[in-house]
Amino acid sequence: MKHVRLLVLTENLAQASLALAETESFHPDPRPPEDTRLDLTPGHQYREVFTRAQSRLEKIGRLVTLPTPEIEQVRVVEFAELAELNAWLGGLWDEASGYEEDLRRLEDAERLVKEQQASLANFANLDIDLGMLRNKTRFLDFYVGLVPRENLRQLEGAVGLAHHLLHVYMQREETAHVVIVGPTGTEESQLATVLGAAGFQHLPIPRELDREPAELQRDLAAERRAIEKQRGSLHDNLERWSQPFRDRLVEARRTLLLAEPLVTLDPSLRSAGHLAHLVGWVPTHALESLEQRLRDSLNQPFDLRVRDPLPEERKLVPTVPVKSRFLVPFRMLVDQYGVPSYGEVDPTPLFAATFLLMFGMMFGDLGHGAVIALVAWSARRRLPRFYLFGVLAGISSMVFGLLFGSLFGYEEILPALWMSPLHDPILMLQVALGWGIAFILVACLLGIYNRLVTADPWGALFERHGLINLLFYLAFLWGGYRLAAGGEFGTLPALLAVGSLLALAAFQWRELQAPTGERLLVVAIETLDTVIVYVSNTLSFLRVAAFSLNHVALSLAIFTLADMMGSVGHLLTLVLGNLFVLVLEGGIVMIQVMRLQYYEGFSRYFSGDGHRFHPLRLRRGGASS
């Protein structure tokens, strides 16, 4: 990755932004330049007008369906053109918002009719003259209506202070239907302001309430149909209204797509007079084509300076992600932990390989693997970026199924290319242990390499999982092997292990800034932790063998249960049992493998504190909105 600084004439800025966007290899760097003369932000006003215009177009787009146009001809959108477009869209939105407001009023009216229908259904059971609720009497005031339920309690008290009574006769979702009754007089005006503040909405009581309820309901249903008709005609009007502008609106969308690159660059742009300054990151391999593109596009001179990232800029340099379609789903899982920082080994290929190996070994079954692969394949349209993960995991499971001779848990149908895990569990455990040791050693070596690359030699030597730590682990393994072989731990391995631990402790003592007692405590605990972590991490890999044994054992349990049933029950138990194994055991194995990767692997060599390369792009459209 290289750091580039581009100086162009301000009048060429829009053209430069398009050229950079077309190469898709320029990641803007928003840091301000050191030169204080470059204190203007030439893209700021452009961005503000753009944002307003885009917001207006989006709002219009909610009412009028517009396709997203293709960009065939790339051209510069000048500020004057953008401002004119914004003003035009403003005028158009003024008109369109009237339609939107009308549509919302219809929605409100429909909601009110629905509430009326519900209210009448409730009134139907009452034996009183409801017509009286519609009118004021000489002494009494009636208010029938709706109020948000959350305002009810407070309103009840407030109404009481105005000498009125509030009765809730129905509650629907967030709304309460209430009747408020009280004496006519001066409190009436008080109450009006309270009701307004509480969001009270009058519910009109239909005339001729003494008619048949069914007849009233028919009237209300007709009212709803009328609202629906009005809505339809409003949409027709909207369609007719938009017809003359439609092409121009599509063109407006195209214009905004073309203006977008300069807007995206705004935080990174600075200028002084006619000179504009722009910095960013470009992958080394793309430099030549980027320069060529600028040369072809700009009609005025420009200056492009390229340099390597400085050591203090390391954290700011973006990381280009792996692009292989087979690795993309694994990259998504790596991203859950973090993004590799610049210079750090991207763990995705190693993660993919070790994940598949461990998953296959822990869940090795030709039949189950085939089901996983087929299910993932069938989901390829819904999960276009992730389905390959399932396909590959299924294939790995199938390969290990062939090695173990396992087909839907049956061990007798397929001849094992290697052996069934249950035939020699000790060997399986030894293989898993060996695998774990190799995994930890590789992880430590990668960690050391990453620290060396990021110019941290002391860290590579003394930090956790550094070279001295690795020396301790190797000495510990050596002594452990001698013990397991029936001998003693050995003086040399013991000296190496203790010596490396003391070196680690001394380094920590030097680094820690704390009172002596606290230092002593922390160093003692950390040293003990180093021993425990390496022992437990190594043993942790025994689960790889344990799950392969578990798979066989679970299948045996299912067969035993099935054998206790009749023929239908047998078949049913086998199907459900296999489903159980697939979902539950498959899920658990997946979690366990992720755990091994994140804890035993990534924590040793992967900082994950980088950030992704997001180049400036020109969205070329093509999809309907």
Partner 1 sequence: MSHAAEQAYLNTRVSMMATRLLAPELVGGLSKMSLQTLAERFGLTALLDDQPSRAARSRAVEQSLLQVLLAELKLLVRPMDAAQRALVLTWGRKFALYNLKTLIRGKLYALDPQEIQAQLFELPEIIRLPHQELFQAENVLELLRQLEAGPYRQIAHQAREVYERQREPFALEAAVDQRYYAEISHRILGFDVHHLDSLRRLMGAELDRVALLWLLRFRFSYRLSPSETYYRLVPSMRLLTSERLLTLVELETAERVIEALPAPLDRLLAQSGTIAEVQQRMGGYSLREIRRVLHQSQSAVARALAYLMLRESDLFLLFAVVQGRLLEFPQRAIEVALELIEPSCSRPDALEPAAQAA
Selection from 549, 588, 544, 554 nearest residue 408 by Cα: 554
Q: Based on CB atoms, which residue is closest to partner 1, 158 or 574?
A: 158
Q: How far is the CB of 58 from partner 1 (least distance, A)?
A: 9
Based on C-alpha coordinates, what's the Rg of the chain?
37
Q: How far is the CB of 96 from partner 1 (least distance, A)?
A: 11
Selection from 156, 453, 452 nearest residue 461 by Cα: 452
Secondary structure of 282-334 as H, E, C letters: ECHHHHHHHHHHHHHHCCCCCEEEEECCCHHHHHHCCECCCCCCCCHHHHHHH
Q: How far is the CB of 398 from partner 1 (least distance, A)?
A: 42
Question: Residue 609 class from Cβ within 10 Å (0-12 exposed, 13-18 middle, 19+ buried)?
Answer: exposed
Q: Based on CB atoms, which residue is closest to partner 1, 49 or 249?
A: 49
> Using CB under 8 A as the criterion, which residues of the chain lie in contact with partner 1 when the complex forms?
48, 51-52, 55-56, 90, 93-94, 97, 100-101, 104, 148, 150-151, 153-155, 157-162, 174, 187, 190-191, 193-194, 196-199
Element (H, E) at 166: strand 165-172
Secondary structure of 471-533 as H, E, C letters: HHHHHHHHHHHHHHCCCCCCHHHHHHHHHHHHHHHHHHHHHCCCCHHHHHHHHHHHHHHHHHH
| Amino acid identity for residue 312 in this structure | E
Q: Could you give the CA distance from residue 451 to residue 510 in angstroms, rounded to a whole number? A: 20
| Amino acid identity for residue 116 in this structure | Q
Q: How far is the CB of 158 from partner 1 (least distance, A)?
A: 4
Element (H, E) at 241: helix 213-242
Q: Based on CB atoms, which residue is closest to partner 1, 196 or 486?
A: 196
Q: How far is the CB of 187 from partner 1 (least distance, A)?
A: 8
Q: Based on CB atoms, which residue is closest to partner 1, 259 or 373?
A: 259
Q: How far is the CB of 39 from partner 1 (least distance, A)?
A: 10
Q: Could you give the CA distance from residue 373 to residue 530 in angstroms, rounded to a whole number? A: 40
* DSSP of 535-587: HHHHHHTHHHHHHHHHHHHHHHHHHHHHHTS-HHHHHHHHHHHHHHIIIIIHH
How many CB atoms sit inside 10 A of residue 575's CB? 13
Q: Based on CB atoms, which residue is closest to partner 1, 117 or 190?
A: 190
Q: Based on CB atoms, which residue is closest to partner 1, 90 or 457?
A: 90
Q: Based on CB atoms, which residue is closest to partner 1, 171 or 324?
A: 171
Q: Based on CB atoms, which residue is closest to partner 1, 159 or 366?
A: 159
Q: Based on CB atoms, which residue is closest to partner 1, 101 or 609?
A: 101
Q: Based on CB atoms, which residue is closest to partner 1, 271 or 548?
A: 271
Q: How far is the CB of 165 from partner 1 (least distance, A)?
A: 13
Q: How far is the CB of 92 from partner 1 (least distance, A)?
A: 12
Q: How far is the CB of 372 from partner 1 (least distance, A)?
A: 34
Q: Could you give the CA distance from residue 411 to residue 405 in angstroms, rounded to a whole number? A: 6
How many CB atoms sit inside 10 A of residue 542's CB? 16
Q: How far is the CB of 270 from partner 1 (least distance, A)?
A: 16
Cβ atoms 279, 33 nearer than 8 A = yes
